[in-house]
A = this chain, B = another copy of it.
């Protein structure tokens, strides 16, 4: 990387905003470009205001803000941070196409399973990093972000069996550089060997608490107080563990009880999926439930509870879409 670091962030919700701040802290001379949709005007006019229990109050002013990646094209970006939701109508490769150049490193900080493969296939020559974020961060109004204390990022290359060895080397070099920026920025970052395993591991919570809270309209403490809701959460976690195992990703023993205990410790909390539903926004059903279900079925594992919850969330997404008609 020569000269000034150029970073494009696509999707300026809580996650995109916090890691914009982190990059700017790690590399103060970095040039920041945003692609923002619903909060475009606010970011264009005022940038981002962040109140963080960890980082304090900050203002992040981007060098440029665009509405689409087409508008953001024509510049060489060193890193593209993908922090959008993964929705069927906005496939990431199409979104990235206008802004990826030969030396761009693509960084995915997104939820769900099976999200990297389409990007790896669309951009076989580019370095690809993938992350799972454990962070409590909310956009309270357009451009206004609140962040709790936790900000833990697991990162790695997308080392699926299908990825060629030459690619892994390129990815690893890009990984080292980006991790140094993140560390300088203050994030609690851990490099993992196996990010697919990490994604299954995060699904244990995301495909259970996230889902049950949303379907029932409950916060995490209500779920823990309601016996049937806790039973559903446990069953969903068990199905995720079984699906992961059948696909060669054995999750640590005690992960289910650990997730339940942690959820107790954190305090009552409305997960992002419930906030999306209540806010009339489409929820990420395919990458949180659809892809693990497909992988379970390919491995011959029955996951009926995940299946019913997927269909239930699809119904709720349908209701949201109908209301907007």
Provide the main secondary structure of the chain A interface.
helix
Q: Mark A302-319, 1 if CB is under 8 A from B, else 0.
A: 101100110110111011
Is A255 interfacial (CB 8 A cutoff)?
A: no
Query: Do B315 and A232 touch (CB < 8 A)?
Result: yes
Point out the residues of chain B lying under 8 angstroms from A311, CB to CB: 228-229, 231-232
Q: Given A304-B304, A305-B308, A308-B309, are A318 and B228 also a contact pair (CB < 8 Å)?
A: yes
What is the chain B residue whose CB lies nearest that of A231? Answer: B311
Point out the residues of chain B lying under 8 angstroms from A231, CB to CB: 311
Is A142 interfacial (CB 8 A cutoff)?
A: no
Is A186 interfacial (CB 8 A cutoff)?
A: no
Point out the residues of chain B lying under 8 angstroms from A316, CB to CB: 216
Is A263 interfacial (CB 8 A cutoff)?
A: no
Q: Given A232-B311, A304-B304, A311-B232, are A318 and B226 also a contact pair (CB < 8 Å)?
A: yes
Point out the residues of chain B lying under 8 angstroms from A215, CB to CB: 215, 312
How far does the alpha carbon of A215 sit from the alpha carbon of B232 in the complex, in Å?
15
Point out the residues of chain B lying under 8 angstroms from A318, CB to CB: 226-229
How far does the alpha carbon of A226 sit from the alpha carbon of B228 in the complex, in Å?
26
Q: From residue A74, how far is it (CB to closest CB) to chain B in Å?
A: 41
